[in-house]
């Protein structure tokens, strides 16, 4: 697995776009709800261009932080992995270490803390409130975009109280499922609290599906797409159908994500590689079809 492939797996561009199952050409944009911005929390903006990641400012104070992700890339949906760097390691060093193909991801991937961040289609932005502790955090993926480092200081190690957010949706990620999306959701701006209660890191991309798609149909579609040859037709499906989501969260981490979903059928998918086999979690069933009414 090369660095690009690896970085994609740990939270970069979707390995398999919702190509075969997207609603033809219909792009649904997820806009940030205003509520998170009204909390008055310290802010960091992550701007993604075709050159790489830029942070404004490149420093933060430990605690709950409003992260705005601006995807200024020409095309494609993407997120930003925000990972606490092990002491003495650099993000360049870690990424270089995975440039050599290996069967499974290195151990540090599973031992590091990932704070999570929004996942956004090209040309849009989204917001999330995430918990940052003191240290240097690598902001990266998908390679080959240049990573950045967010330096976080302060805090006494005591976990600060979560922000007062009225989360309409509470999603738990675990091996290998999304729990909390069983009932139809209400359309419109709302906050999701997403928590990783599992043992491995997890992420969540949300894409729109043809109306009425079932869990079995979506799984079948994904399995076929992932086992088939990569698409060669450049005029293929028009644009990404991923409308939002969040990048990798490590065990015990939560974030508050602003989403604005229109009425329809959606699929949540995790592409994080399994610790034992390296297989994306989606191949182990970490998929959830849900509806917005």
Give me the residues that bind Cu ion (CB under 5 A), please.
202, 270, 272, 281, 286
Q: How far is the CB of 271 from Cu ion (least distance, A)?
A: 8
Beta carbons of 58 and 144 less than 8 angstroms apart = no
CA distance 269 to 285: 9
Give the torsion sign (CA, 74, 78, 82, 87).
negative
Q: How far is the CB of 73 from Cu ion (least distance, A)?
A: 24
* Burial status of residue 130 (CB atoms within 10 A of its CB: 0-12, 13-18, 19 or more): buried
Q: How far is the CB of 85 from Cu ion (least distance, A)?
A: 22
Q: Please identify, using beta-carbon distances, which residue of 63 and 201 lies nearer to Cu ion.
A: 201
- DSSP letter, residue 146: B
- DSSP letter, residue 282: G
Q: Please identify, using beta-carbon distances, which residue of 108 and 110 lies nearer to Cu ion.
A: 110
Residue 136, SS3 per DSSP: strand
Q: Please identify, using beta-carbon distances, which residue of 264 and 273 lies nearer to Cu ion.
A: 273
Beta carbons of 272 and 166 less than 8 angstroms apart = no
Q: Are strands 43-48 and 148-153 parallel, antiparallel or unpaired?
A: unpaired
Q: Please identify, using beta-carbon distances, which residue of 272 and 290 lies nearer to Cu ion.
A: 272
Q: How far is the CB of 286 from Cu ion (least distance, A)?
A: 5
Q: Are strands 135-140 and 148-153 parallel, antiparallel or unpaired?
A: antiparallel
Q: How far is the CB of 196 from Cu ion (least distance, A)?
A: 8
Q: Please identify, using beta-carbon distances, which residue of 61 and 279 lies nearer to Cu ion.
A: 279
Q: Are strands 43-48 and 63-71 parallel, antiparallel or unpaired?
A: parallel
CA distance 238 to 233: 11
The pair phi, psi for residue 7, each rounded to 5°, is: -60, -35
The pair phi, psi for residue 192, each rounded to 5°, is: -110, 135
Q: How far is the CB of 152 from Cu ion (least distance, A)?
A: 25
For the chain, what is the largest distance between any 2 Cα atoms, rounded to a whole number of angstroms? 54
Q: Please identify, using beta-carbon distances, which residue of 8 and 281 lies nearer to Cu ion.
A: 281
Q: How far is the CB of 57 from Cu ion (least distance, A)?
A: 31
Q: Please identify, using beta-carbon distances, which residue of 63 and 180 lies nearer to Cu ion.
A: 180
């Amino acid at each position: 697995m090369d660095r690009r492939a690896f970085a994609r797996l740990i939270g970069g561009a979707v390995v398999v776009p919702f190509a075969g199952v997207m609603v033809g050409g219909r792009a649904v944009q997820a806009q940030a709800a205003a509520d998170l911005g009204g909390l008055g929390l310290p802010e960091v903006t992550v701007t993604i261009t075709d050159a790489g990641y830029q942070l404004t400012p490149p420093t933060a104070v430990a605690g709950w932080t409003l992260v705005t992700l601006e995807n200024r890339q020409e095309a494609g949906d993407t997120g930003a992995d925000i990972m606490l760097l092990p002491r003495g390691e650099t993000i360049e060093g870690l990424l270089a270490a995975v440039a050599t193909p290996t069967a499974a991801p290195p151990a540090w991937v599973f031992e590091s803390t990932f704070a999570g961040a929004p996942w956004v289609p090209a040309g849009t932005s989204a917001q999330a409130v995430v918990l940052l502790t003191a240290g240097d955090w690598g902001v990266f993926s998908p390679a080959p975009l240049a990573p950045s480092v967010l330096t976080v200081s302060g805090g006494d190690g005591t976990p600060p109280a979560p922000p007062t957010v009225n989360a309409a949706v509470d999603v738990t990620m675990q091996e290998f499922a999304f729990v909390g999306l069983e009932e139809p959701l209400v359309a419109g701006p709302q906050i999701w609290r997403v928590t990783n209660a599992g043992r491995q890191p997890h992420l969540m991309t949300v894409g729109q599906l043809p109306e009425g798609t079932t869990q079995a149909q979506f799984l079948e579609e994904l399995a076929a797409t992932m086992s088939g040859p990569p698409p060669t037709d450049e005029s293929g499906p028009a644009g990404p159908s991923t409308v939002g989501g969040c990048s990798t969260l490590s065990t015990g981490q939560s974030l508050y994500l602003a989403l604005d979903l229109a009425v329809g059928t959606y699929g949540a998918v995790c592409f994080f590689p399994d610790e034992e086999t390296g297989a994306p979690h989606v191949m182990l069933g970490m998929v959830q079809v849900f509806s917005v009414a």
